[in-house]
Amino acid sequence: MTQKNLKNPWIWIPSLYLTEGIPYIVIIVVSVIMYKKLGVSNTDIGLYTSLLYLPWVIKPIWSPVVDLIGSKRKWFLSMQFILSIVFFGVGLTTSGSNFFFLTLAFFWMGAFASATNDIASDGMYLIALKPEQQSFFVGLRGTFYRIGMITGQGLIVIVAGYLETTLGDNTKAWSYTMTIVAGLMLLLTLINQLTTPKVEEVKKEGKEKASFGTVFFTFFTKKNIGLSLGFVLLYRLGESQLVKMASPFLLDTKTTGGLELSTSEVGFLYGTIGVIALLIGGILGGIVISRDGLGKWMIPMALSLNLPNLLYIALAYFQPDSILYPGAVIIIEQFGYGFGFAAYMVFLIYLAEGLFKTSHYAIATGFMAMGMMLPGMLSGYVQEWLGYTGFFVWVGVAMIPALAMAASVIYPKEFGKKSS
């Protein structure tokens, strides 16, 4: 690859991964809130918005197209521009008589565009940075992806709520909100066009003639692939369930086992101090792996991601009245998540090494999405069955296979370490 056009990663990584996180959370989570406020039944909301998650699970199917045809930069800039059009389309169609099907059609287009944007953006990260840089910036990358998600789930919903109150018309409020999202996506697309490096992977012999089958075959015949995929699926087994039930627990009444915090309090805890803790943990995780290698930090990071979840057992049992206690738990849990997630992301980078690294990374993240989706789908049933205290005990039990896989998975212990 040519180095002369590389730009400062401290600038383009945050903007690129903000542009990954925002459309994902708007399509998957904010759409649920919008449809609820526009009078769609829970049955339809649950069915159709859950299906919107599918493109992220199956994105490995078309990832070879992104890897073999065109440049990663052209792919993600095109997808980001399409996403701005998609959200503008949602804004225009919220007032129609068939708004549900029309807006859903736009969200479906957006889901495929967003998943493709993820493939190309991750590909740019892998080819524009040296291995030691990939490890160093993995915390920054993951943190800004999460900040993008929090921006969508927090700030954008707050804007919609303000417009609902000001205008007295939910349809207009959400139409304006989605138009604002479209403008934000267009702005981020322009920023990424200016800041991302114009660099492409050096074509290796035989790559131009590769087929879809070759791409998948070379991934699933990697050494120790079964053990590696077991790690990818189980590393966040507890977290995948906790993340679905943490907010309902904080919002539910004391009589139902929750802490009865207000929406504003929950937004403050996750949107301010939680983000700061996540940012510090994520950046620190990337720094220590780049200094010492993945082998030294795999187990400590697996513990960091899982052990803080046990604090929710105490919250559910004692149900404290003060916001200070859940605030402290969220700070510890978010820091631990950011720090522990760094090892996970560096391992995915290792798993994608070799030819077709963009496609192979997309396949790995498809399994990552499956590892979050399947346990998360069952988390509500488990919580209703066991109650909140029993559920958080179960989340603690779920860390056992995660730690077992972290201890047994095979990889170069020095991987990610910065060269002398």
Alpha-carbon span 389 to 319, nearest angstrom = 10
In angstroms, the CA 77 to CA 188 distance is 10
Task: Decide: residue 318, CB within 10 A, 0-12 exposed, 13-18 middle, 19+ buried.
Answer: exposed
Q: What is the 3-state secondary structure (H, E, C) of 243-277?
A: HHHHHHHHHCCHHHCCCCCCHHHHHHHHHHHHHHH
Phi, psi of 302 (to 5 degrees): -65, -40
Instruction: At 209, give phi and psi (nearest 5°).
Output: -95, 5
Q: Read off the pLDDT of residues 77-90 as tens digits, 9 standing for 90 and up.
A: 999 999 999 999 99
Q: What is the pLDDT of residues 275-333, one digit of tens each?
A: 788 878 988 998 899 888 899 999 999 999 999 999 999 999 999 999 999 999 999 99
Q: Which of 18, 112, 14, 119 is nearest to 72 (CA)?
A: 119
Separation of alpha carbons 350 and 12, rounded Å? 22
- Is residue 200 situated within a structural domain? no
376 lies in some domain: yes
| pLDDT at position 146 | 76
CATH of the domain at 55: 1.20.1250.20
pLDDT tens digits for range 172-226: 989 999 999 999 999 999 999 998 888 765 555 444 445 667 878 888 989 999 9
Q: For residue 263, what pLDDT is reported?
A: 54
Q: Are residues 162 and 248 in the same domain?
A: no
Q: How many residues are present in the chain?
A: 420
Q: Give the separation between CA 307 and CA 46, rounded to whole angstroms.
A: 31
Q: Is residue 415 part of a domain?
A: no
Residue 420, in any domain of the structure: no
181 with 239, same domain: the answer is no
Provide the whole-model pTM: 0.70
Same domain, 216 and 183: no
Is 1 within a domain?
no
Picking from 30-34, 163-167, 187-191, which range would have the lowest pLDDT averaged per residue?
30-34
Both 358 and 253 in one domain: the answer is: yes
pLDDT at residue 190, rounded to an integer: 96
With CA atoms as reference, report the closest residue to 160 among 90, 245, 80, 251.
Answer: 90
* Per-position b or e across 206-235, b if 16+ CB within 10 A of its CB: eeeebeeebbbeebeeeeeeeebbbbbbbb
Q: Is residue 311 part of a domain?
A: yes
Number of domains in the chain: 2
Q: Is 366 found in the same domain as 269?
A: yes
Q: Which domain holds residue 349?
A: 212-408
User: Which sign, positive or negative, has the C-alpha torsion 385, 387, 388, 392?
Assistant: negative
In a domain, 206, yes or no: no
State the pLDDT at residue 2. Answer: 42
- CB-facing half-sphere around the CA of 365: CA atoms within 13 A: 24
305 and 342 Cβ atoms separated by less than 8 Å: no
